[in-house]
Structure 1
Amino acid sequence: MNRILIIAPNWIGDAVMSQPLLATLKAHYPHCQIDVLASLWVAPIYRACIEVHQVIEAQLEHKQLQWGLRKQLAKQLEKNQYDACYVLPNSLKSALIPWLANIPLRIGYRGEMRFGLINIALDNPRKINRPPMANHYLALCNALVHSQEINVNEPVKPTLNISSTAKESVSAQLLVAGIDKRFIYVLCPGAEYGVTKRWPAEYFATLAKQLISHEPNAQIILLGGKGDHVLASSIQSQADHLPQIHNWCGSTSLDEAIALIGMSKVLVSNDSGLMHVGAALEVPQVAIFGSSDPHHTPPLSNKAKVLWLNLPCSPCHKRECPLGHLKCLKDITPATVLSTIQTLH
């Protein structure tokens, strides 16, 4: 096996959890070149994976066929003469490029009527029985590695590496902002999925004030994408615009966000992509779960503490609370999160 292509998933957390697959492939095929085709959104995750030779960025959009772009990419990739391709998303369109590129071995899970496009297909477990996502991706290794079965039930831990360029960029921004990097607490209030994954903004505000009260040198950085900027501004307002609270949502690249999380004393987040980044960097963290299932997408780190109430109505996996009360998140108090943070030291 000389060259392997990975078709990356579309979400940051899923991308992080695919790293053990890359590491295992590299261990079995140490001289193999592993390239990743990724959207602009998740490409930084693979730049932080030491197993990856080249990240091929593409302007691939959610729920868009983009037939012309896919044909163009396939034509370019065919020149690389890949021996195999692992297609991590379950969609039909994600399997088109390796098929059009005539890659002989196209490995993935069965899904969305892609018979023939995937020619080495594994049964996709039902969601109720699905293993943790990192193990789910790792199981694809067994489609090719026949000499030694890989135990996909053993816990696996993703690992990321921070680029020196991103670290230098963040250090410069901290210096300009007058933030002492020794006392950084990163709070990530966003979650792409919806409100049932987002701990209330007023709780983040209360927690921020409590952290500053307990540690006067604390610097709170609210981190997320552009879509989280208004949410973070609301948290600042509810925290009385304390000067130690900084809204960096939408102000950093993902490469820089990875570096900033790696510098932090503690990360507090919802079940989100940045939660998985923190786990892969082994940062002490508190992960707050509401409508989702920490058994399927846990932060895979010994330094992570999960707060999940396991109510009879959860996990519901709904974007809005079907019962209208959002107790799965509202009953996790700022005092509980603060006391959990204090156990991390």
Structure 2
Amino acid sequence: MRPILVFCLPAIGDFIRCHSAIQILAEKFPGHPIDVATSPLAAPLARLMPHIRKAWIVEKHWRPGLKERAGLAREIRKEDYQAAYMLTSSTKAALVPWLAGIPERIGYPREFQFGIINRLPAGWPKSFLAFGPRKTRLYEQVCAIAMLGEKPGDGVRLPAPQMAVSAEELSDWRARHGIDPARPALALYTSAFSNFRSWPAERFISVAKDHARRGWAVWLIGGPREREAAAQIRVALPEAVDFTSTPQLTDAMCQIAASTAFLGVDGGLCHAAAALGGPCVLIFGSNRSYETGPVNDHVRYLEPPISTPSWVHDTRGVSEERVLAALADVVAQPSRDQKA
């Protein structure tokens, strides 16, 4: 059976949300291999996602890049793809399947790629207007492309993104880092404290100290943006383990999957934690979770009180007491595997 190529969004959180569309395509075309094209940053996550055979790397900033795109198109042409689903609006990305001669190139012409995109989902003109809170969310947009604009039937829900780290990989990661699997661990994803999406430093520190007093390990996860915040937490709690210099993104997935609970804010890794399926508490600004948050059912959202105006994006309205109660509650709930 001829394979299908899906051009996904480049950011970590956006790439993970594209997995909803990939699941729809896997059900629509059973037995057809599905490959993805995405950024070097997000590509390592593809092997953790069901239904994906392999990932192509599409550099985000090719200047001018026609030679590089033509080279990638020649490699892609060898796979004899029957269709390319363009979940990204980038014209640079859309040139690749066109140059590769993939017969069907499906998507919304966000940057007016008429001709480059040669099959438009039903109702595509509305896609130019359907943005913003309580309108069409990103994961709904990518699913609409996969469904060619058809609306799901009554009672049919769009699939939530899924990722899985194997037991063998988790065991190897624990062995390399000397992690005791019997000790509970709280994974903290803070973003930069200067980011309006973060939560105040003193509150993260308070929650971390509370868990440390009860014998939990505290893991600080993320990347370069989180390093300054991690250092600040470690001044107050030296026993916290700083994983923000992790060289591989898949190691960060092991950190999340091995933790007992994840506490984070709006950002790419919160989508990863949700897709991995463990206990997950996310702190969002007022009315932000619907628009930009993960759609996985088990995620517990904490937002400022409903009386807080929607233009107040910061998270100071979420108290430590609410966070501690939510963490205790999600840990006490049966895991996704136990429910299944």
CA offsets 1:63-120 (integer angstroms, 9 cap, x no match): 8653322121112111212110011111222211111111111111221222221112
Q: Does 1:132 align with 2:123?
A: no
SS in 2 for 1:5: strand
Cα pair distance change 1:191/1:72, threshold 3 Å: farther
- Whole-Å separation in 1 of the counterparts to 2:174 and 2:21: 32
Would you say the 8 A contact 1:189–1:269 is kept in 2? yes
Q: Which residue of 2 aligns with 1:41?
A: 41
- Whole-Å separation in 2 of the counterparts to 1:162 and 1:280: 11
Counterpart amino acid of residue 195 in structure 1: N
Q: Which residue of 2 aligns with 1:187?
A: 188
- The CA RMSD measured in Å over matched residues stands at 2.6
Q: Does 1:334 align with 2:320?
A: yes
- Whole-Å separation in 1 of the counterparts to 2:4 and 2:192: 32
Counterpart amino acid of residue 118 in structure 2: N
Task: Please state how far the C-alpha of 1:52 moved relative to its aligned partner.
Answer: 1.0
Structure 2 residues without counterparts, runs of 5 or longer: 333-340
Counterpart amino acid of residue 303 in structure 1: H
Could you state the TM-score of these two structures normalised by the residue count of structure 1?
A: 0.85
Q: Which residue of 2 aligns with 1:296?
A: 291
Q: Which residue of 2 aligns with 1:224?
A: 222
Counterpart amino acid of residue 82 in structure 1: Y
Counterpart amino acid of residue 206 in structure 1: S
How do 1:160-309 and structure 2 match up within 5 A?
160-163=163-166, 166-175=169-178, 179-180=180-181, 182-190=183-191, 195-213=195-213, 215=214, 217-237=215-235, 239-241=236-238, 243=239, 245-290=240-285, 293-309=288-304
Task: Please state how far the C-alpha of 1:289 moved relative to its aligned partner.
Answer: 0.8
- Whole-Å separation in 2 of the counterparts to 1:126 and 1:277: 26
- Whole-Å separation in 1 of the counterparts to 2:291 and 2:153: 17
Task: Please state how far the C-alpha of 1:168 moved relative to its aligned partner.
Answer: 3.8
Q: Which residue of 2 aligns with 1:158?
A: 161
Task: Please state how far the C-alpha of 1:45 moved relative to its aligned partner.
Answer: 1.9
- Whole-Å separation in 2 of the counterparts to 1:136 and 1:143: 10
Q: Does 1:113 align with 2:112?
A: yes
SS in 1 for 2:75: helix
- Whole-Å separation in 2 of the counterparts to 1:313 and 1:90: 31
Q: Which residue of 1 aligns with 2:338?
A: none
- Whole-Å separation in 2 of the counterparts to 1:138 and 1:54: 20
Would you say the 8 A contact 1:107–1:121 is kept in 2? yes
Would you say the 8 A contact 2:35–2:52 is kept in 1? yes
SS in 2 for 1:296: helix
Task: Please state how far the C-alpha of 1:218 moved relative to its aligned partner.
Answer: 0.3
Could you state the TM-score of these two structures normalised by the residue count of structure 2?
A: 0.86
Structure 1 residues without counterparts, runs of 5 or longer: none
SS in 2 for 1:114: coil
Q: Does 1:87 align with 2:86?
A: yes
Counterpart amino acid of residue 183 in structure 2: R
